[in-house]
Structure 1
Amino acid sequence: MFLSDRESSPAHLTSDPEQCPMALCISQQPLRYSLVSKATAQRIRTLEKIIGEDPGERGIQALFVQDELLKSSLSLSHASSVLITTGFPTHFKHDPPEENDGPPGAIAMAATLQALGKEVAIVTDHRALEMNIRIMKDAVEKGVIKTAVPVLSFQDSGPDSARHFLLHDGDPKRPRFDHLVAIERSGRAADGNYYNMREVNIKHLVDPIDNLFTTAAEIPGINTTGIGDGGNELGMGKVKEAVSAYMPNGKLIACDVAADFAITAGRPRPLPPHVASTSPDPAYPHHFAPSLKPHFPVSSMALPMAGDHLTQDPLHTHNPQPLFSWLSKAFTGL
């Protein structure tokens, strides 16, 4: 018997071992667990292996932590409001200086979360605000995302700036966001600077969005995810020791800011729809917490392969083809 914070009708018993539940801890403050079927967990682990490929031959396997994608996906499935950040101005002599993998990834994630009924916002550098607003407008016009999500900037104007950005009236019981995601976002190193892989300091192009992550770590109920392929991205401070030991120039460039979940993703192109689509796990739609207090209604974020039942898949409800066509062009610079 499972003790849960949500009442549900009795489920049909199954002898299929693939439908047996797994319980994973997705938060320490407060302590929360989430249920997921073994079959769904295996799909996500398969995807984690795919995105962990290392086409740049940097040796990113040294940064890999098993099940970070699974735990982050489960945590995001519980979230009601998600803040995404991106922007890595590594091409500091160009205008704009951004790498082109972060912004399309942020749009793809925003589209998926929006289709799942989450509130979504994107925060980026003030100097890149207009560019990201144009990207969002283009994505809406081409059917990549149903409606535009807010594109924000954050400026550190005082010691409580991050708290007021993350919380309604600075109240830790009223967070504006319950999950922060950094995807290919420049991360602050131990010396306070921001470095690209060639050890060039690009701090003059980067706003202190890291402060949102360090502040979120002090607020119960807000989880964070960092996604990167070099160890100098925001959130990858969780694997800082591995970055320092194994990545080129790692001791200098390693991000010092940790996320709850650090996902190593080296694959440079979007996955095909039948692999990358997201749908609930129908077997275990709710999580449980020792506190037994009500939490957000959830559905485990599965990543179904071809042939799976996709009736609740938001990317199949909302035609995925514009998304993947647009992403392919964005990633190839066309």
Structure 2
Amino acid sequence: MADAALITRLDNRLDQLVNIDMGERGVEHLFVAARELQGGSLVGAAADALMAVPEGGTVVMTTGSVSRAWITEDLGENDGPSGAAAVARALVLARNVTVVMLCEETLLPAIRNVCQSAGLFPVTLAQAAIAKADKSLATIVMQPFATEDEAGKVQAEEMMETLKPDLLFSTERVGRNEFGVYHSMRGIDYGMGRARVDILFDLALERGVPVVAVGDGGNEIGMGKVADHVKAHVPYGDVCQCGCGGGIGAVTSCDVLVTAACSNWGCTAIAAAMAVRAGDARLLHTPEREALLLDTMVANGLINSTHGVVDDSVDGFPRQSHLAVAELCRTIVSRAL
């Protein structure tokens, strides 16, 4: 593994790269606030937490955002799934963990296919245990989560007891505000058909289970850590358009918050930082794999939510920008690999 001073420099460069606010969402303000709270690199802290998961442990992950549910609950956005798949892949390769991915039942087929394109074969929990024991297959377990509050509370308790996760990880997962409303970046009610996974994350925090979260807009799980800054600097952060009386900011906090101009970019940077710590280039999310996942998301109908079309742009950023971020992350850490 590279020496500590070099790792710190690389972590800081990865942070700076993925937090250039090209989308003019106010993420640079959230980045500064989160860095001050963390006392150092956000990407580095996330990588440290993930690499600290015990060998053969269990990590619960979530991503996926139902989009335009007033039209159909079968539609999800394309920021989140490829980034989550990249981090899940790095975790499985580095720590031989069981990754349990949670999302809405309606989005399971699409996100399952994205994870498979990342190299993770979807299996049951029992099958994952066999694969983990003999290290013969990189796997992922896909499970739906309840879309109603009370059912979500019951499922959260059950999952904490049965899975006993070592860490929870969220990326681009909308969380509720102080009035229990889930909002889009445009400040409208986005709660219909949405899995209440943030209830599980709140419970994990109460019980001292580490939580790492990635977000780009202030309305995601984890952004409760910088709630005041979301209200001050993010459009609709203080007052939404749905009339609930609050803003779009999610109240669920986290132990490590990674901000990014696009959540997928934050995950790409985390995978790069993990690769440095493991001394293993296989953990990198490469431009080639990003291209494959972008194509998979198009084939599975995941939407570019900014433009409202199914294409290979994410958050309005064109395909080449996502390949470029992956290449720049690889370039930044190449000295250490």
Following superposition, the deviation at residue 162 of structure 1 comes to: 1.4
CA distance in 2, matches of 1:217, 1:270: 25
CA radius of gyration, larger in: 1
Task: Indicate which of 184, 203, 211 corresponds to 1:215.
Answer: 203
Following superposition, the deviation at residue 90 of structure 1 comes to: 3.5
Question: Following superposition of structure 1 onto structure 2, how do residues 55-134 of structure 1 map, counting pairs within 5 Å?
Answer: 55-64=22-31, 65-66=34-35, 67-79=41-53, 80-92=57-69, 93=71, 96-116=74-94, 117-134=96-113
Task: Indicate which of 250, 265, 268 corresponds to 1:255.
Answer: 250
- Alignment pair present for 1:236 and 2:226: no
**2:157 aligned partner:** 163
**1:25 aligned partner:** none
Q: What amino acid sits opposite 1:85 in the alignment?
A: T
Question: What SS does the corresponding residue of 1:253 show, helix, strand or coil?
Answer: coil
**1:135 aligned partner:** 114
CA distance in 1, matches of 2:61, 2:152: 22
The TM-score, its normalising length taken from structure 2, stands at 0.68
**1:31 aligned partner:** none
The TM-score, its normalising length taken from structure 1, stands at 0.69
CA distance in 1, matches of 2:288, 2:27: 31
Following superposition, the deviation at residue 186 of structure 1 comes to: 0.9
**2:282 aligned partner:** 314
Question: What SS does the corresponding residue of 2:100 show, helix, strand or coil?
Answer: strand
Q: What amino acid sits opposite 2:202 in the alignment?
A: T
Q: Which runs of 5 or more structure 2 residues have no equivalent in the other structure?
A: 36-40, 122-136, 239-246, 299-303, 305-310, 313-337
CA distance in 1, matches of 2:100, 2:226: 27
CA distance in 2, matches of 1:152, 1:240: 30
Query: Structure 1 pair 106/134, CA: closer, same or farther in 2 (3 Å)?
Result: same
- Alignment pair present for 1:184 and 2:172: yes
User: What is the alpha-carbon root mean square deviation over aligned residues?
Assistant: 3.0
Percent identical among aligned pairs is 26
CA distance in 2, matches of 1:325, 1:280: 20
Following superposition, the deviation at residue 225 of structure 1 comes to: 1.4
Q: What amino acid sits opposite 2:255 in the alignment?
A: D
CA distance in 1, matches of 2:250, 2:186: 14
Question: What SS does the corresponding residue of 1:167 show, helix, strand or coil?
Answer: helix
CA distance in 2, matches of 1:198, 1:101: 16
CA distance in 2, matches of 1:254, 1:275: 23
- Alignment pair present for 1:154 and 2:145: yes
Larger strand fraction of residues: 1
Question: What SS does the corresponding residue of 1:232 show, helix, strand or coil?
Answer: coil
Following superposition, the deviation at residue 139 of structure 1 comes to: 4.2
Following superposition, the deviation at residue 315 of structure 1 comes to: 3.2
Q: Give the paired residue count.
A: 260
Q: What amino acid sits opposite 1:195 in the alignment?
A: H
**2:126 aligned partner:** none
Asked whether the 8 Å contact 2:169–2:213 carries over to 1, the reply is yes
- CA deviations on 1:39-90 (whole Å, 9 max, x unpaired) are 1122111101111111111121111122232222111111132111011224
Question: What SS does the corresponding residue of 2:12 show, helix, strand or coil?
Answer: helix
**1:266 aligned partner:** 261
CA distance in 1, matches of 2:231, 2:287: 40
Query: Structure 1 pair 315/262, CA: closer, same or farther in 2 (3 Å)?
Result: closer
Question: Following superposition of structure 1 onto structure 2, how do residues 1-20 of structure 1 map, counting pairs within 5 Å?
Answer: 19=3
Q: What amino acid sits opposite 2:151 in the alignment?
A: S
Query: Structure 1 pair 313/137, CA: closer, same or farther in 2 (3 Å)?
Result: closer
- CA deviations on 1:88-131 (whole Å, 9 max, x unpaired) are 22433466432211111111111111111222121011232233
Query: Structure 1 pair 166/94, CA: closer, same or farther in 2 (3 Å)?
Result: same
Asked whether the 8 Å contact 2:89–2:119 carries over to 1, the reply is no
CA distance in 2, matches of 1:149, 1:322: 21
- CA deviations on 1:282-323 (whole Å, 9 max, x unpaired) are xxxxxxxxxxxxxxxxxxx37xxxxxxx5x33337xx95652
Q: Which runs of 5 or more structure 1 residues have no equivalent in the other structure?
A: 1-17, 20-36, 169-174, 282-300, 303-309
Question: What SS does the corresponding residue of 1:157 show, helix, strand or coil?
Answer: helix
CA distance in 2, matches of 1:51, 1:85: 21
**2:232 aligned partner:** 245
